[in-house]
Amino acid sequence: MASCLSNRFNMIKFFRKIRQNLLSEGKTGKYFKYAIGEIILVVIGILIALQINNWNEEVGKTKIEKEIIQEIISDLKESRNKLIELSKNDSGKLPEYIRSMKLVEDYFIDQPVYNDSMAIHFSRIFSFSNIEYKITGYETLKSIGFNIIKDREIRKDIGIYFTQTVPQTYRQFELVEKEQYEYLIEHQKKDFNTIFLENSSERKVLQIPIDYKNLRQNRDFRQAVKMYRYITDLYFQNTIESLSETNKLISKLEEYLNNY
């Protein structure tokens, strides 16, 4: 930009020199022709400067767009790790909880006598885990304005994920939390002893039935466990769907950046 402005000023100085020579020679008619040329030159220079300024603004917007998308991708990857921790089928927290609940239900049916090996499974009946999505990049995008993202489909995909996929998972978790506090927590307080076990690597919480025989015959408790397993399973399925949508959006955003 500085080079273009310098050239423009040099040309203007050249025409002004010609104008001075013409005036000294009394050639007024020719002077007006050169004056018009000088005006045109100034206008062209201004237009060039505006064009360069617009180009610089566009470059700045592109830089901001890339930075926001990169931040959103980073957030999505962090959220993905949390979703995997919850929903991974062989070791995720939710599958563990669901398996333990089903085991307790079957144990009530098949086993009239309590075994201490069931303590860890009873403890999982009173467990739940929420997913905390990271949305820093999305909040930055909202504050700057969605139009900074040039591609309409990319804007749409980002909007759907953060206004539909994320809230849906939170709503499903709220049902899990509600079921826990409205139907199960009282049983934990009155029907179980809580035991804490600690070693150098972890801390375990065990729930030991106070009277297993009576608990086994408690229809309300058994029904509450069954319903809680059902709702937790819905939450589990939702986290799997959310994980899939997270992976899709990461791929789309990375491809979009690579095609710049």
Helix (H, G, I), strand (E, B) or coil at 206: strand
Encode the chain (260 residues) as per-residue pLDDT tens digits: 445 445 545 555 555 565 555 555 555 565 566 667 667 777 777 777 777 767 766 766 888 999 999 999 999 999 999 999 999 877 789 999 999 999 999 999 999 999 999 999 999 999 889 999 999 999 999 999 999 999 999 999 999 999 999 999 999 999 999 999 999 999 999 999 999 887 767 778 899 999 999 999 999 999 999 999 999 999 999 999 999 999 999 999 999 999 87
Place of tokens 């749409």: 156
- In this structure, the dihedral spanned by the alpha carbons of residues 25, 27, 30 and 32, taken in order and rounded to 10 degrees, is 100
Specify which residues 196 forms β-bridges with.
205
Residue 69: name the closest of 164, 143, 158 by CA: 158
Helix (H, G, I), strand (E, B) or coil at 210: coil
**Count of the separate structural domains present in the chain:** 1
Specify which residues 203 forms β-bridges with.
198
Note the residue count of the chain.
260
For the chain, the distance separating the N- and C-terminal CA atoms, rounded to the nearest angstrom, is 24
Note down the domain range covering 182: 2-258
DSSP code for 164: I
Helix (H, G, I), strand (E, B) or coil at 205: strand
Contacts of residue 29, Cβ cutoff 8 Å, sequence gap at least 6:
none
Residue 176: name the closest of 243, 86, 84 by CA: 86
Residue 129: name the closest of 172, 163, 99, 164 by CA: 172
Helix (H, G, I), strand (E, B) or coil at 92: coil
